[in-house]
């Protein structure tokens, strides 16, 4: 009999390098494969499964909505879409929401906003600045915006007008901007790029620069948003973390209103596994995308919106953002301990909350896996120890557990990671 993997290879387009596991079901932070092996899931569907697997209340909400209404299109109104939009606006600030089905689509809306805003100037601002090592999705606009060559290879001609500069470098921003610049797009914490956080000073200077030069400041929060860092949006957490001596104010919460992007894209954890994307646009700019300028047939269907509203309700009720912050600190401390024991193998860890990366020293991947980078090899070894992680670049492994992960589960994951590190070649 053919295996699932053989059938997948003959039936599915080969765009993914997959690990050799076929999953059948999950519960909370745990996943089970078709051979009944158990794994602790710190891959989280790549920062998607915000409430883990098979959350009973989420499943109940899904079932109730399925019985009522799944889809009617955006020719009409539905209550779940209105309610979710109101909730997201309440969490971010005065603005308007566009719903789509993925992160790339949420970014597409950011990029169309940049274009239509830029074209409203007599000098036609047609340039968008993004960051080296950024990742903005796999559509043509997404790969054009992305600051990594590997996603673009073979797809010329790309969308024009994108320039990539070093992250956290305000001088590069100033040098590269011109009267033609309509927008700057950043991730609060670069995910695919290896868990690189924006520096608080950079965010504040960037906000100021964009204000002074009529440049939109656009946030790709697809991976770093949605409570994962401990705040709804990563910039709030980054500015909260700002060392006191660097601020003129006592309370960092006073800083937050000073810093709000002009638009924010969201997806991944927003749907907890159900496909949904959303783009928030501040009330100062939302009028640029009026009737007929953009759309999505599925976008904001009542089922997707009900799922997302329920997730937010559970996160708020059960204080899972605080949990994400605290468990993130525990995870980071545990990783730091391992770094002390293995300075030859582990370089350090970084990130905020439950968006964490552990950086590996480079090593020669042994036979027969020479074709994969050290990060993927480490994930493969971790899988054999019952721990799921996600590679980011060649030398970082990501820890992206569900927001409700328990202290015991962090300990368990650390123990399995420790075993994995012991097995790595020097
Ligand atoms: C995952 C990701 C995307 C793309 O999201 P999709 O849902 O795969 O289209 C865009 N930006 C960032 C920062 C991401 O992490």
* Beta-carbon count within 10 A of 131 CB: 27
Please report which helix (H) or strand (E) contains residue 66, including its range: helix 56-68
- Residue 44 phi/psi, 5° resolution? 55, 35
Q: Which of 322, 389, 396, 414 shows the shortest CA–CA distance to 358? A: 396
Lookup: tokens for 370: 């020479």
pLDDT band at 426; cut points 50, 70, 90: confident
Residue reference for tokens 């810093």: 259
Pairing label, strands 127-131, 181-186: parallel
Q: How far is CA 242 from the centre of its chain?
A: 21
Label the pairing between strands 38-41 and 387-388: parallel
Quote the pLDDT of residue 251. Answer: 42
Ligand 1 geometric centre to CA of 241 (Å): 25
Q: What's the pLDDT score for residue 117? A: 98
What are 221-248's pLDDT values in tens digits?
A: 999 999 999 999 999 999 986 665 544 4
Cα of 425 vs centre of ligand 1, distance in Å, is: 32
Residue 192 Cα to ligand 1 midpoint, Å, equals 9
- Give the pLDDT confidence of 90-109 residue by residue, as tens digits: 999 999 999 999 999 999 99
Q: What is the largest CA-CA distance in the chain?
A: 69
Cβ distance 371 to 358 under 8 Å? no
Regarding pTM above 0.85, the answer is: yes
Q: Is 136 in the pocket of ligand 1 (CB under 6 A)?
A: yes
At 89 the pLDDT is 98
Q: What is the pLDDT of residue 246?
A: 47
Find out whether the beta carbon of 187 lies less than 6 Å from any atom of ligand 1: yes
Choose among 206, 190, 129, 219: nearest CA to 165: 129
Atom of ligand 1 nearest to the CA of 267: 7
Q: Is 404 in the pocket of ligand 1 (CB under 6 A)?
A: no
CA dihedral 57, 62, 65, 69 (to 10 degrees): 170
Mean pLDDT of 256-278: 92
Is residue 161 in contact with ligand 1, taking CB distance under 6 Å? no
- Taking a C-beta distance cutoff of 8 angstroms, is the pair 234, 200 a contact? no
Cis peptide leading into residue 157 (ω within 30°): yes
CA of 190 to the centre of ligand 1 (A): 11
Q: Is 147's C-beta closer than 6 angstroms to any atom of ligand 1?
A: no
Please tell me the distance between residue 285's alpha carbon and the centre of ligand 1 in angstroms. 23
Average pLDDT, the chain: 95
104 close to ligand 1 (CB < 6 Angstrom): yes
Contacts of 215 (CB under 8 A, 6+ apart): 125, 177, 181, 182, 183, 184, 209
Q: Closest ligand 1 atom, CA of 223?
A: 15
Q: Take residue 294 and report the two structure tokens written for it.
A: 């953009």
Residue reference for tokens 């100062």: 284
Per the omega criterion (within 30 degrees of 0), is the bond before 368 cis? yes
- pLDDT of 255 > 50? The answer is no
Confidence bin at 289 (pLDDT 50/70/90): very high
CB-CB contact of 338 with 418 (8 Å): yes
| Ligand 1, pocket-test mutation among 43, 108, 135, most atoms within 8 A of CB | 135
Q: pLDDT at position 386, please?
A: 98
**Which pLDDT value is given to residue 250?**
45
Mean pLDDT, rounded, for 159-181: 98
Identify the pLDDT of residue 1.
Answer: 65
- Closest Cα to atom 11 of ligand 1: 136
Answer yes or no: is the C-beta of 135 below 6 A from any ligand 1 atom: yes
Q: Give me ligand 1 centre to Cα 55, in Å.
A: 24
Q: Is the pLDDT of residue 249 over 70?
A: no
């Amino acid at each position: 009999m053919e295996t699932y993997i053989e059938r997948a290879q003959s039936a599915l387009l080969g765009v993914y390098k997959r690990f050799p596991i076929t999953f059948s079901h999950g519960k909370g932070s745990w996943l089970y494969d078709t051979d009944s092996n158990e794994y602790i899931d710190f891959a989280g569907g790549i920062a998607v499964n915000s409430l883990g697997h098979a959350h009973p209340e989420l499943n109940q909400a899904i079932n109730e909505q399925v019985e009522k209404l799944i889809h009617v299109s955006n020719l009409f109104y539905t209550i779940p879409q209105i309610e979710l939009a109101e909730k997201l606006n309440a969490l971010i600030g005065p603005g308007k929401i566009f719903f789509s089905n993925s992160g790339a689509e949420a970014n597409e809306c950011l990029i169309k906003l940049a274009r239509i805003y830029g074209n409203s100037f007599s000098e036609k601002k047609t340039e968008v600045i993004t960051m080296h090592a950024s990742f903005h999705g796999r559509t043509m606009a997404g790969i054009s915006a992305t600051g990594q060559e590997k996603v673009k290879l073979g797809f010329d001609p790309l969308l024009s007008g994108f320039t990539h500069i070093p992250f956290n470098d305000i001088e590069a921003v100033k040098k590269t901007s011109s009267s033609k610049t309509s927008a700057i797009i950043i991730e609060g914490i670069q995910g695919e790029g290896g868990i690189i956080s924006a520096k608080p000073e950079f965010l504040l200077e960037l906000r100021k620069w964009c204000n002074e030069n009529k440049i939109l400041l656009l946030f790709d929060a697809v991976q770093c948003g949605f409570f994962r860092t401990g705040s709804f949006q990563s910039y709030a957490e980054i500015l909260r973390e700002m060392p006191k001596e660097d601020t003129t104010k006592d309370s960092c919460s006073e800083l937050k209103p000073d810093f709000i992007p002009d638009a924010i894209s969201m997806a991944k954890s927003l749907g907890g596994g159900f496909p949904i994307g959303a783009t928030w646009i501040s009330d100062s700019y939302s009028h640029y995308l009026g009737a007929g300028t953009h759309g999505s047939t599925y976008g904001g269907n009542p089922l997707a919106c009900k799922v997302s509203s329920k997730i937010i309700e559970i996160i708020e009720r059960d204080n899972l953002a605080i949990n994400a912050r605290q468990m993130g600190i525990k995870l980071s401390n545990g990783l730091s301990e391992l770094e002390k024991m293995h300075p030859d193998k582990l370089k350090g860890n970084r990130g905020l909350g439950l968006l964490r990366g552990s950086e590996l020293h480079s090593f020669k991947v042994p036979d027969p896996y020479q074709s994969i980078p050290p990060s993927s090899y480490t994930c493969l070894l971790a899988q054999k120890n019952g721990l799921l992680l996600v590679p980011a670049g060649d030398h970082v492994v990501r820890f992206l557990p569900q927001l409700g992960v328990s202290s015991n589960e962090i300990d368990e994951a650390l123990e399995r990671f420790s075993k994995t590190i012991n097995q790595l070649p020097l």
